Amino acid sequence: MVSQTDTHALKLRDLPVMLRLKQNAIVLDSELGLIEDARGQNSALLSSIVFPRGLHSLLGHIEGQDVVGQFRHRQGDANAHLVYLAPTLEDGEDDTIWLHMLDAMAEQAGKNGAHTLVGEIELSHRLFETMRRAGYAVYSRQVIWQRDPLGSGFLAPDVAIAAETDGDELGISALLGCTIPRILQPVMEPSAEMAGLVFRKEGQVEAYLAYSEGRHGVYLMPYVHPEVLSEAADIVAAALMKIERCRKLPVYICVRGYQGWLENAMRDLGFSPWLEQAVMVKHLTAGIRQASFDRLQLSARGGQKPAATLQLAGQDSMGKVNRERFSGLPV
């Protein structure tokens, strides 16, 4: 029996199906999910159809089952990010349709110019193994720390924090370069949509806190140089006080596996570990599959031996050997 498969970009006529499915979705983008609740914003879902603005939604149908998936990607960015899949995949359930949707989103993201597709998933979730089967590799672990809105008893430390400016670009780049392992840098930097606060010491950018605000919370990603580790709690506290919505909404801070030394600062500030996830990455650019040789045309007067030129297919930004080697690294 031949499987009847159809996957297409979401259209207005698909809206009722999407709204039904999304009520039982698995969110794969912590930033968007925590500040806006990616599953529950009908206006955001509708705008992704009428005015895409970087959100791309697909609807798949296979053998009587429906699945919807969404990813975000800005034109020109190297990375695309999975937003959600719906319905969620239950333990023991056949994952064929979810594999189909993951492949369809990877294909569409590649057509849009993305080099990688990134998703964040709890290690215990059934979808974790499905994503591995779909070609995703674990690049890092991360813990989302959470606390209630800042109360009146939250004291502002005497630390100078300022909004980032164009003049900070080189300093921020240098800081990210020395706080994110080199092999992770292409996919672990904060998204361009996030705002940022900087801490300077003796004219150097020693800490950068990228953040996003939404109707449901504030999400931060701290990058603190190890040389100011003893000041990390005060730096983060000063940043929280700069963000007005931290006084009204829950606050979430993402600490990646290579930043484990920030955990004590999180506890000192009243945060609790809330969610442990794997950051999973799928490379979309094709590796070298076959060398193609074109024979050169020789001149009758040339007397040269026949020669060939090697044409390479689009080469992956990270070769296969490196990916296999990296997948076994502790993160």
Higher pLDDT: 155 or 331? It is 155
Tokens of 89: 């995949």
**Shared-domain flag, residues 128 and 216:** no
**Shared-domain flag, residues 10 and 130:** yes
Tell me the whole-structure pTM to 2 decimals: 0.80
**Shared-domain flag, residues 188 and 109:** no
Domain range for residue 214?
A: 146-274
The predicted pLDDT at position 39 comes to 52
Final residue belonging to a domain, choices 135, 169, 193: 135
Going by pLDDT thresholds of 50, 70 and 90, the confidence category of residue 313 is very low
Contacts of range 315-320, beta carbons closer than 8 Å, 24 or more positions apart: 315/285, 315/287, 315/288, 316/283, 316/285, 316/286, 316/287, 317/78, 317/115, 317/186, 317/283, 317/285, 318/183, 318/186, 318/283, 319/287, 320/287
311: pLDDT strictly greater than 70: no
What's CA 257's distance to the chain center, in Å?
Answer: 15
171: pLDDT strictly greater than 50: yes
Answer whether residue 310 is part of any domain.
no
**Shared-domain flag, residues 22 and 110:** yes
> Cβ of 307: how many Cβ atoms within 10 Å?
9
Q: For the chain, what is the domain count? A: 2
**Shared-domain flag, residues 218 and 176:** yes
Mean pLDDT calculated for residue range 306-331: 32
272: Cβ contacts below 8 Å, ≥ 6 apart: 145, 146, 147
Per-residue pLDDT tens digits for 67-121 = 999 999 988 899 999 999 999 888 888 899 999 999 999 999 999 999 999 999 9
**Shared-domain flag, residues 118 and 20:** yes
CA distance 13 to 146: 38
1: pLDDT strictly greater than 60: no
Percent of the chain with pLDDT over 70: 80
**Shared-domain flag, residues 90 and 154:** no
Answer whether residue 286 is part of any domain.
no
**Shared-domain flag, residues 53 and 99:** yes
Final residue belonging to a domain, choices 108, 135, 162: 135
**Shared-domain flag, residues 38 and 151:** no
**Shared-domain flag, residues 118 and 202:** no
**Shared-domain flag, residues 150 and 261:** yes
CA distance 277 to 182: 21
Final residue belonging to a domain, choices 225, 257, 274: 274
Going by pLDDT thresholds of 50, 70 and 90, the confidence category of residue 172 is very high
CATH number of residue 168's parent domain: 3.40.630.30
Contact, 56 vs 72, CB < 8 A?
yes
